[in-house]
Structure 1
Amino acid sequence: MFKVLLIEDDASLFTEIKDRLSQWSYLVYGIQDFSQVMKEFADIQPDLVIIDIQLPKFDGFHWCRMIRSHSNVPIIFLSSRDHPTDMVMSMQLGADDFVQKPFHFDVLIAKIQAILRRVYNYSAVQNNLKTWCGAAVDFEKNTVANENGSIELTKNEIYILKLLTERKNQIVSRDEIISSLWDDKRFISDNTLTVNVNRLRKKLDEIGLGAWIETKVGQGYMAIEEDASRV
């Protein structure tokens, strides 16, 4: 899951773009203080920036220049202005693409995907990532991240989460989990499984996901997919 910083002061447009990109499993962040764009950029560390030209305080060209002085992160400009010099200026400042408003969202998505595919090792990233309840689960880094933050899991915890999310909305028996972990020489007891699941759920609570791991008494555990019917 890639992080997108959307620098757009039009609240309705920001919400619409965020909703559309979220459907494609992108984590979209906005700017809270348009005089502190670089501080928020540093805090978020996005994989891609989408920036409007007309902004409060300083225009998009200014912030593009500032971002480029610190990072090579891909940048897409949005603009309602149709003067060719805007496009030329954005390219000269190091932007990767330019999208004129109004635009079709399919076009924006296609441009985003093309840029990410070119800039990042897309296939390698996808092999290590799984999307669950709007969060990115990274099985290589042992992390789970969403718009509420990021948590780091132990090897045991990420292994349990992997087993459960591979079969979302299905019960995975305690015996099956223990057997898998036993083969991997990590567990030997039923009580140890309970302790580790509780620790996993407590960490997931930090980013609002603890409730999506359900205990099925006498059966096992289930990773619920967001908005799915609970059984």
Structure 2
Amino acid sequence: MRMSLASLPRRVTAEFTGTAALVAVIVGSGIRADSLSQDIGVRLLANALASALGLGLLIALLGPLSGAHFNPVVTLSEWWSRRRESPAGEAAGYIAAQLTGAVAGALLAEAMFGRAPGTLATAPRAEPHLLLGEAVATAGLVLVVQGLRRIGRLPLAPVAVAGYIGAAIWFTSSGSFANPAATVGRAFSDSFTGIAPGSVPAFAAAQLLGMLLGMGLAAALYGKPAGATSEPNGVPTRRSR
């Protein structure tokens, strides 16, 4: 059966909703973990499990609408791969929705736990080894997304992408934000998952570098992408008229 994309307003709404929900899960689980244990290993485990489970469910739920990018580096890498058939304005709409959704999700998480929404994070994360870890985390994410599409295994995306992020939270020094929108959102939460606003530009630059590395590695491994009618993070998407 031939599948096509949902209307742009519905896709943008899905990206806003999914990114907001994802950041609410990440920040909220971090706040909850902070209140339950002072052991950083326990807190990291709780946050990683909640983040991976939430991401997988959101990809499965919203993939048929927007492709469930929830991440500017996924949107940019996919737009570049299909730039002859995908208008730049659509990518810009996705990214705007992701950025605003991420901030909304962080503020929602703060409010749910009775904290003052809008308090900026104070944890600096601009050390070179953390930026290296973030570039590696993002490169791996882009490779997973691009690889799944190029080998025709998109239905595995909810498990594969969520599994990768859950693992990368542990094996990278940065904790695998791997998402410029989520990075901006997490600057609005002074909690276990927060990042000081002054560290956001360096983190975002590392993520963009990781995106380029992941795209280059995907091209080296799989060759040029074939024409695709579906999005990367889930099942093929549908257009409503």
The alignment's TM-score, normalised by the length of structure 2, stands at 0.23
Q: Select the structure that is richer in strand.
A: 1
Larger Rg: 1
Q: Higher relative contact order by CA 8 Å / sep ≥ 6: 1 or 2?
A: 2
The alignment's TM-score, normalised by the length of structure 1, stands at 0.24
